[in-house]
Amino acid sequence: KAGVTQTPRYLIKTRGQQVTLSCSPISGHRSVSWYQQTPGQGLQFLFEYFSETQRNKGNFPGRFSGRQFSNSRSEMNVSTLELGDSALYLCASSRDRGNNEQFFGPGTRLTVL
Amino acid sequence: AQTVTQSQPEMSVQEAETVTLSCTYDTSENNYYLFWYKQPPSRQMILVIRQEAYKQQNATENRFSVNFQKAAKSFSLKISDSQLGDTAMYFCAFRIVGNEKLTFGTGTRLTIIP
């Protein structure tokens, strides 16, 4: 069974631009969560989607948004990029909410210049 | 709010030795899970071991075991017979039952020396 895939793996953008990252969960998994990983702040929860609905949200500004499609694939969008948005963005999928193991993807490395 | 603290930013140990990574957490919740995740240099996060708070018995997975002290809110990871492939960042994480959000500690960079 294929693991969690994230595209693109690397991305370079400039300040003020917007970016969309994609996450395809393991087949049969319906919950997708997103995390931001930086050297300074560590791993921080962005949001979680289940059945195309945002179920939980972390403490990030409204520039960070996401969605989930009927096939459970998820995208996250960051608008008006800032230098501080440079990070590794990880997504994780699980079969259902709450009690199942989460499987992480390899991440998307975003660099904002 | 939940917090997870890992007080050892870096550790190193000789191959085949035993090493213990520390983690403390703070929560007012009673039903939760605790995890240790491993993130090797290739960056793919992997679950090492999981502990349900309601279980008194410490979880074990082959060479990996935990010491879960619920009253002290302590959750340490012991790696026995360490191997070169154990070199990685190790993150302690917390999750409330019924919630997908993981709260991570700052990580411990573990290096296994040949």
* Six token digits for residue B97: 């039952």
pLDDT band (50, 70, 90) for residue B4: very high
Q: Does B99 touch chain A (CB under 8 A)?
A: yes
* Six token digits for residue A48: 């979680």
User: Shortest CA distance to B94 belongs to which of B21, B20, B28?
Assistant: B28
A101/B47 Cβ within 8 A? yes
User: Shortest CA distance to A34 belongs to which of A105, A99, A83?
Assistant: A105
> What is the rounded CA–CA span in Å between residue B91 and residue B107?
4
> What is the rounded CA–CA span in Å between residue A49 and residue A84?
24
Position A71 scores a pLDDT of: 95
Position B56 scores a pLDDT of: 87
Mutate to test the interface with B, among A23, A26, A102 (most CBs of B within 10 A): A102
Position A8 scores a pLDDT of: 97
> What is the rounded CA–CA span in Å between residue A24 and residue A4?
6
Work out the minimum CA distance from B103 to partner chain A, whole angstroms.
7
pLDDT band (50, 70, 90) for residue A106: very high
Q: If you search the block for the tokens 């007012």, which residue do you land on?
A: B28
Residue pair A91/A74 in contact (Cβ under 8 Å)? The answer is yes
pLDDT digits (tens, 9 = 90+) for A40-64: 899 999 999 999 999 999 999 999 9
> What is the rounded CA–CA span in Å between residue B84 and residue A33?
31
B91/A43 Cβ within 8 A? yes
pLDDT digits (tens, 9 = 90+) for B28-64: 999 999 999 999 987 789 999 999 999 989 999 999 9
DSSP per residue over B65-104, as a string? EEEEETTTTEEEEEE-S--GGG-EEEEEEEEETT----EE
Summary mean pLDDT of chain A: 95
